Chain A
């Protein structure tokens, strides 16, 4: 054990004093170099595949660029066209806001309800938890295709059930006024993710708070309102933030279900089908970039989305300040 160390330490002592400071700084540099070398697999990837493309897209957002010819500087033209001259942009914004403002609350409320149900100590509760979580493990493309089939208005499973019960049978993904609700149903299928995090939060609520509330004579509803919700608020808040970011970037499910398979494997004409009702921000960005090859325009959209996401997150932090209670936080 010691001989090795001693052997290495000896030369240091010999030269000590001559150029101590230079040596130590060189040593420091070497250590940094070794550190960087070890971090390089990630570092190279980060610089080449994240930093460079991000900065390049920022540059392209001020250019007209079709990937083949050299980009030409257009200043803020892309942004002004988006805001003033592109009705489809606003359609995409509206659709995305719908998905966010309706989708996130629905997801949180349903997940919370499920988490409360599954937080009880009943027999087989773990099986139910696994069942609710299972759809999360299925790749989103598969889930989407299955829901296209289930919601097929001509011969889908749900259509037949609704027909049997003499209920209205909407056109779901093929009807512009039902396509977004259909998309929400499909997304609700994957709420296991949120549910599991809320469940973990619920199990973290200290029992003594409930006991104290019970001794004070609080009803079940009051215990939920005054103990469970405040204790759970950081977890709910986290899920709201993540949900908003996810909704603003929603792509896969809308891409696969567009038109309800009316144009399966078809051309780019089906993006946002029917009638641009599922033309979400991400879909329209993709369409501009990879169907029309307006890379500058698409880059401008991407940076706008980034800015909106940051602002939305900051606003969420600001307006929920009084609502979120962190245990042990200074008041």
Chain B
């Protein structure tokens, strides 16, 4: 009897201690006051220094805005986003990784147009780099506020260039092909290094080469996938697969580790050139890569010097989903985050993205000649934005399949793109 009583005492004591501990840890969080609005932001930045930078500025906002408290949660899975919004449980705001889905999501009502918020808050749209607004525009409305623009160029392994006796980055597409051949190493029928693989890095491929060859993908509600220029672009891509054998190239690529890690194609030194953003160099440095890295505009065909500095410009759109519990406060945060020139400059330098504001003050990074390549490209008249359509995810899948079928020799570029145009048109028609 006595021992049971004792046990009860001990248990009660433990329970009390647990309650005290739990409540004290609860209290140690800075609990927002009653009138504080809690905002949940879903964001799609990479880990490491990108997330750390975002957290730093969110903390600054929370300190300076006692009535709003922002919490970020990484949500890279678009499926989850759509499910949450259509299920009626969206976050207050989202920071998307690119604008590819804007058209489709705006079309199906997942996002709110921000024009009224922009107008009533007195946001100065002219302070922004204009191409950033293009990237978030669909059917005449703005569905996001541009934040941290980015683009891609030719990023190359300078050390491997020097070893191969190449003194400067290629200035024409033909030169690029020759350099790539010089940089490629094949031993006993196995590829050891490729100078260049057209569809290799970060998913940047045919969509961009089309512009380099003078083509494009959409004209209003019409698919122009089978445009002769697009066919030419894809044909150029296939020369790399034909020269070394499609199965050899895919085998070689299957040995690459995950993108932006020390084992990926570029960082492991297996690819001397990639068509990608300057963040690749930042991640390479973070991962302790030894070689020196350079950047140059992706070269145009020799016969078309007017297509020099062809690139695209995209941004990390700050969007408010349909059904956001606190859209007004969410936009207040977006405005604070996107319109401060000092923040813009610092943020861009920390993650090697382009400032989205024209008024961003200079930063040591902006003087880096490599980074200047990207800065200049963002102002190029040949800077495109990725197409905004109601069928963007299907188009992305079908485009990638068309590209692959030509590269693997299962269809001619003409066949692949004619089929793509037909499917895309069919999808477009049924979406409208």
Contact = CB atoms under 8 A, between A and B. Distances in A.
14 contacts: A66-B86, A66-B108, A67-B82, A68-B86, A68-B110, A169-B251, A175-B250, A267-B396, A268-B78, A269-B203, A274-B404, A274-B408, A275-B410, A290-B83
- Count chain B CB atoms within 10 A of each CB in A69, A169, A171, A260 and give the residue with the most: A171
A303 B258 CA distance: 38
B109 interface: yes
A158 interface: no
Given A66-B108, A68-B110, A153-B254, A171 B247 contact: yes
B253 A269 contact: no
Contact of A276 (B108, B393, B401): B401
B382 interface: no
A120 to B, nearest CB: 41
Contacts of A248: none
Task: Give the contact-size bracket for chain B.
Answer: 20 to 34
Interface in A255-277: 260-262, 264-269, 271, 273-276
Interface in B28-59: none
Given A268-B393, A269-B396, A274-B404, A293 B252 contact: no
A155 B263 CA distance: 13
A272 B82 CA distance: 22
B410 A153 contact: no
Contacts of B25: none
Contact of B254 (A68, A261, A266, A275): A261
B254 A154 contact: yes
A264 B263 CA distance: 13
B426 interface: yes
B405 interface: yes
B24 to A, nearest CB: 37
Contacts of B85: 68
B255 interface: yes
Contacts of A69: 108-109
A73 interface: no
Interface string B223-267: 000000000000000000000000100111111001000000000
Contacts of A252: none
A67 B78 CA distance: 14
A276 B109 CA distance: 30
B78 to A, nearest CB: 8
A290 B322 CA distance: 19
Nearest to B190: A154
B96 to A, nearest CB: 13
A275 B408 CA distance: 9
B254 A291 contact: no
B79 interface: yes
A68 B258 contact: no
A94 B195 CA distance: 38
Secondary structure at the A interface, as helix, strand, loop or mixed, is loop
Interface of B: 78-79, 82-83, 85-87, 108-110, 203, 247, 250-255, 258, 322, 393-394, 396-397, 400-401, 404-405, 408, 410, 426
A174 interface: yes
Contacts of B203: 266-267, 269
Closest 4 CB pairs of A and B: A154-B255, A67-B86, A153-B251, A68-B86
A275 B404 contact: yes
Contacts of A262: 250, 253-254
B417 to A, nearest CB: 15
Nearest to A260: B254
Nearest to A291: B393
A267 B404 CA distance: 15
A224 interface: no
B408 A68 contact: no
Given A68-B109, A68-B110, A174-B254, A268 B397 contact: yes
Contact of A269 (B252, B400, B410): B400
Contacts of B394: 291-292
Nearest to B397: A269
Nearest to A156: B254
- Count chain B CB atoms within 10 A of each CB in A176, A287, A293 and give the residue with the most: A293
A253 interface: no
A152 interface: yes
- Count chain B CB atoms within 10 A of each CB in A67, A154, A260, A268 and give the residue with the most: A154
A85 interface: yes
Contacts of A153: 250-251, 254
Contacts of A265: 258
Interface in A198-218: none
B408 A176 contact: yes
Nearest to A159: B251
B397 A171 contact: no
A174 B108 contact: no
B254 A85 contact: no
A175 B249 CA distance: 11
- Count chain A CB atoms within 10 A of each CB in B109, B254, B404 and give the residue with the most: B254
Contacts of A85: 426
A157 B316 CA distance: 41
Contact of A293 (B108, B247, B396): B108
Given A269-B400, A291-B393, A154 B258 contact: no
Contacts of B79: 290-291
Contact of B251 (A67, A68, A154): A154
Contacts of B86: 66-68, 293
Contacts of A271: 397
A287 to B, nearest CB: 8
B255 A155 contact: yes
